[in-house]
Structure 1
């Protein structure tokens, strides 16, 4: 079971936004993830650039940092410093970020969480209600490739209740070092290497990487009776496991007629798909994504017995016995 970051609320790991299984309408429901502390209201809080503890070791981008205890009394404002300036894309409100981080308590220097040891960066949306507000305000406007140091006062962290399980009290100021690795928005696509599509019995999928809908051409032949999962663009990231969720762009079509029943490409949003939960909805899609590399576009053809079978969602183009065709851009694993 993957370990959730302490920056997120303690909800079951399977409850992420589940798009790609429905009746043709976009599933815009949220995961139930919310900050453990209070949610700040507009306008944004005042930010200052000091005081902040010294980073005494692990000073390069991507290295696990060692951070001194806080020098004296912390500011009551959000303190933010760009330690290393990156030159990548700028992080915007509601974008998803992928980042490594270390968090510790100002007064004691006690580290309560870090992603470097787990070798699994955080992937999360920079949005109100998704993670603590100190991060949301501190990271907006920063560039990929940057290392940011942040001191988060209690009202922008976990609030007066703190986070007892992590040893965080309600009056603790928290110190974070964050390495911004990547950013994703609704126009993101994977950049994998094109793979030859030479089987005339399978759909062909366009290889555009502009975030728009890749055209899918379904052959006018009988669909395969077994699950098909193959690369259209092959990335070089880690393989997706059955315990993870993926951040992705996707579309779903029916084989007969090639009509689309759901998609995120061009919709202004991304999707988070829990592999474990998808096993209970469209088993073939879950199996087709498991083991595929992050950074890839995958074609998955799901026969009826691994799809909706004789119980399709009502009112849409998916009928009893429909074979389903999915294209999925696996942007990140979570």
Structure 2
């Protein structure tokens, strides 16, 4: 089970399930034909109404990093001295490379968080698994979102986040954070994922003429899907590599970051695609239709997988309203597994 980070805003809200209306596409959430099986448990929240949409960013004051100063080494940070700024203070300790992150990107990071006044470390990913942060989706505290927007891979960022851009007047008692506490973070940006990413694995021969053939492009564009003419739909789940990655093996308890598309076996009409939204999708693997849970568990990160989902492992006779999926339809998906979160 993934450890929950206090980077996330609170209180948690439930994301919408499959069957949402067409407006979902405008907001960047999963479309009505997405593989979500039930209400997602992914935490999300909107910033406090008192938090400015674009806070002023200043250069300090900031406490010093006294040990672990190299990139991706667990840092030791001095206790804050004096009065912290009421604005967001940000300093790039180690410059990164490449393009700066923008809203809609996901950043894989290591981080350490502590309280300004006491120097108490209340959370860290160092020594655990790196964490993935979605930018511009109101899923993390506003100050963190703002401080990391524009940052580059391989950068180390030191920041001091005032209460108005953290947990506001409620604080976060579970972590010992009072409503008046300024928070200090050191964040190392390890990796960036964008809506133009795709799997980069090795092509696997597609020799079964009774199954769809999927494109092997790795340029972030939607892969082609050629359906077999006159072939009967499989009655059992098909889960085949198109590109085989070299990453970790996916567990059914993982949360995945993916690009995907869905088509009808009969006629080949596309009913959903993350590519068309230029937005990545993340979901707990246990919270999607059985074809995805069963078909993606055991596959490797970095892979493109072709799934053929019979009705019993998809939506049966209750497809999402407005999805364009007929009752008892066999579905074809291509899924690029970019990362586990």
TM over 0.5: yes
**Which runs of structure 1 show a deviation greater than 6 angstroms over 4 or more consecutive aligned residues?**
none
Alignment check: 8 A CA contact 2:104 2:279 kept = no
1:176 Cα shift? 0.4
- Matches of 1:315 and 1:45, distance apart in 2: 39
Matched, 1:182 2:224: no
Mark the runs of 5 or more structure 1 residues left unpaired by the alignment: none
> What are the superposed Cα offsets for residues 100-152 of structure 1, whole Å, 9 maximum, x if unpaired?
11101111111111112321x22232115221111122111111111111111
> What are the superposed Cα offsets for residues 256-287 of structure 1, whole Å, 9 maximum, x if unpaired?
22111111113232222232221xxx211221
Aligned to 1:192: 201
Aligned 1:24-173 pairs, distance under 5 A: 25=22, 27-28=24-25, 33-34=44-45, 37=48, 40-42=51-53, 44-119=54-129, 121-127=130-136, 129-173=138-182
SS at match of 1:241: coil
SS at match of 1:266: helix
Count of paired positions? 326
TM-score under structure 1 length normalisation: 0.88
RMSD of aligned C-alpha atoms? 2.5
- Matches of 2:239 and 2:102, distance apart in 1: 34
Q: Quickly say closer, same or farther: Cα 1:247–1:212, change in 2 above 3 A.
A: same
1:317 Cα shift? 4.4
Which moves more between the two structures, 173-182 or 287-296? Answer: 287-296
> What are the superposed Cα offsets for residues 6-34 of structure 1, whole Å, 9 maximum, x if unpaired?
12135679x4565xx55995745766611
1:91 Cα shift? 0.5
- Matches of 1:214 and 1:100, distance apart in 2: 32
Aligned to 1:271: 281
1:316 Cα shift? 5.1
Alignment check: 8 A CA contact 1:189 1:211 kept = yes
- Matches of 2:272 and 2:71, distance apart in 1: 39
Aligned to 2:36: none
Aligned to 1:7: 7
Question: Which residue, 322, 326, 332 being the options, matches 1:325?
Answer: 332
Q: Quickly say closer, same or farther: Cα 1:199–1:10, change in 2 above 3 A.
A: farther
Aligned to 2:35: none
- Matches of 1:33 and 1:63, distance apart in 2: 29
Alignment check: 8 A CA contact 2:264 2:271 kept = yes
Alignment check: 8 A CA contact 1:24 1:261 kept = no
1:89 Cα shift? 2.8
Mark the runs of 5 or more structure 2 residues left unpaired by the alignment: 30-41
SS at match of 2:256: strand
TM-score under structure 2 length normalisation: 0.87
1:289 Cα shift? 1.5
Alignment check: 8 A CA contact 2:240 2:307 kept = yes
Alignment check: 8 A CA contact 2:12 2:43 kept = no
Question: Which residue, 273, 287, 290 being the options, matches 1:283?
Answer: 290
Alignment check: 8 A CA contact 1:37 1:132 kept = no
